[in-house]
């Protein structure tokens, strides 16, 4: 894998690590009530989506290796450009639903290269 792609995947993994750390022991209600947590979570999700977007452009084969990659990029775009229309429940759902799989898959790609 090209070094540029590995760097981007590292950024995805690091943002996922931070998201896990930020939300460990926290609830959806905590997320809704804490503006700093809210901002930190959304920022890291934007990093995941943007890094994955650039990585996919450099290596389109990643689409088959990272579950829901196009949806993750689309979600990043909604967070960045349509932030007012993104519900807290959707953000929290991504954290609990999609993110652990993406994190595991990206770590696996980094470990095999």
43-to-49, 54, 58, 70, 108 alpha-carbon distances in Å:
10, 17, 23, 18, 24
87-to-34, 38, 72, 83 alpha-carbon distances in Å:
15, 12, 16, 9
- Report CA Rg, the chain: 14
13: domain CATH number? 1.20.120
Helices (H) and strands (E) in the chain, counts: 6, 0
* Residue 107 and residue 10 in contact, taking contact as beta carbons nearer than 8 Å: no
Looking at the 3D structure of the chain, how many domains does it have? Answer: 1
CA distance 106 to 66: 7
Q: How many CB atoms lie within 10 A of CB 92?
A: 19
pTM for the full predicted model = 0.93
| Structural domain boundaries enclosing 38 | 3-112
pLDDT tens digits, the chain, 113 residues: what are they? 899 999 999 999 999 999 999 999 999 999 999 999 999 999 999 999 999 999 999 999 999 999 889 999 999 999 999 888 899 999 999 999 989 999 999 999 999 86
């Amino acid at each position: 894998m090209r070094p540029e792609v590995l760097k981007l995947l590292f950024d995805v993994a690091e943002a996922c690590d931070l998201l896990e750390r930020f939300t460990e022991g926290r609830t959806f209600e905590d997320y809704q009530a804490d503006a700093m947590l809210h901002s930190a979570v959304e920022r890291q999700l934007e990093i995941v989506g943007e890094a994955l977007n650039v990585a996919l452009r450099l290596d389109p084969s990643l689409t088959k290796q990272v579950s829901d990659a196009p949806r993750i990029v689309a979600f990043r775009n909604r967070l960045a450009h349509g932030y007012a229309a993104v519900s807290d429940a959707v953000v929290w759902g991504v954290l609990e639903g999609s993110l652990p799989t993406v994190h595991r898959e990206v770590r696996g790609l980094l470990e095999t290269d």
